[in-house]
Structure 1
Amino acid sequence: MMAATEQKTVYPRYAVIRLRGIPTTPGDIAATLDLLRLRRKFTMVVVVGSPSVMGMIERVNDWVTWGEIDADTLAEVLRKRGRIVGDKPLTLEYLQKWGWNSFEEVALAYISGEIETLACKKDFKAREGQRPPCIPYLKPFFRLHPPRGGLNSVKLHFSVGGDLGYRGPLINDLIKRML
């Protein structure tokens, strides 16, 4: 049981984008990408940077790029590429039905740690009008376009002029090119 002085650890939020394709993916890497819900090229997930998730990201580091996402970029991703079950677009009216006022409010709540996850689990039950701690029926991944202007190299890491691996806050620039 947590004491009154203890606080819950708020991990940073990371955007992870798969940049390499499917055919040559080794089995263990494919399984980890599947757990991260990165099943296709140019899909993105937003994850909490807990130690277990960071271990998975390190394992697939040669297949993805990742970095800290900011609230403005996340709001734009939700607005333009967010989908709910049935492959319908995520709309402001849908968010308001569940008690959220704007895409920015959801993004800020997620980045600040007020809500733990963007997409609810399949067995989540909530009543309309009552704000849930997530967005019901939101797909847990985002399908992005290939980046405008192209990529440098999907065989080299970002630190040596490529596109793979950790890129820090510069992930936001890549995401904006892919919307």
Structure 2
Amino acid sequence: MFLVIRVRGTTGVIQKVADTLHMLRLNRINHAVLVEENPSFEGMLQKSKDYITWGEIDAELLAQLIAKRGRIEGNNKVTDEFVAENSDYKDIAELAEAVIKSEVKLADVGIKPVFRLHPPRKGYEDIRLSINEGGSLGYRGEEIKDLAKRML
């Protein structure tokens, strides 16, 4: 499971890349989504790599993300009670484990699929360079956890 975060805005985006970002539900800067690891999504990530960053997420960070930034209808926060009432899981941690294993999707439980994050503490690195060149864009691997924690 990948966590994908939009880093750059809409100015000067090529239409095909804009459509790909729209399909990924990344409509604004600092929005994040969860994406499964399969060839079609990996192609979409490669196509829009100049505007996003992504990497693997673990269940612990996903549980924190759902608890702090997860929203349900009416822009209300996700609680353990809500998860217990609307799913087969007793709390957010169990739900996060199931989402990582692709047993359930957030939308099946009633949680919105997009997380609206804060800008990262101490800012992004250069938003026009890839992570290999000292910037913020592209595939990060496990380092996405550090960025996500700075954005919670």
Give the TM-score normalised by the residue count of structure 1.
0.81
SS in 2 for 1:101: coil
How many Å apart are 1:149 and its aligned residue? Answer: 0.9
> Counterparts of 1:37 and 1:113 in 2: how far apart (Å)?
19
Partner residue of 1:157? 130
Partner residue of 1:69? 57
Partner residue of 2:118? 145
**Unpaired runs of at least 5, structure 1:** 1-12, 121-134
Q: Which amino acid aligns with 1:67?
A: G
> Counterparts of 1:164 and 1:15 in 2: how far apart (Å)?
13
How many Å apart are 1:65 and its aligned residue? Answer: 0.2
Partner residue of 2:96? 107
> Counterparts of 1:24 and 1:87 in 2: how far apart (Å)?
31
Within-5 A mapping of 1:114-125: 114-115=103-104, 117-120=105-108
Check whether the contact 2:81–2:91 (CA below 8 A) recurs between aligned residues.
no
Instruction: Give 1 or 2: higher strand fraction.
Output: 2
How many Å apart are 1:141 and its aligned residue? Answer: 0.6
Query: Which structure has the larger Rg?
Result: 1
SS in 2 for 1:17: strand
Partner residue of 2:139? 166
Q: How many residues align?
A: 151
Partner residue of 2:81? 93
Matched, 1:55 2:28: no
How many Å apart are 1:76 and its aligned residue? Answer: 0.2
Instruction: Give 1 or 2: higher helix fraction.
Output: 2
Regions of 4+ moved over 4 Å: none
> Counterparts of 1:172 and 1:119 in 2: how far apart (Å)?
23
> Counterparts of 2:145 and 2:82 in 1: how far apart (Å)?
25
What percent of counterpart residues are identical? 45
Q: Which amino acid aligns with 2:143?
A: L
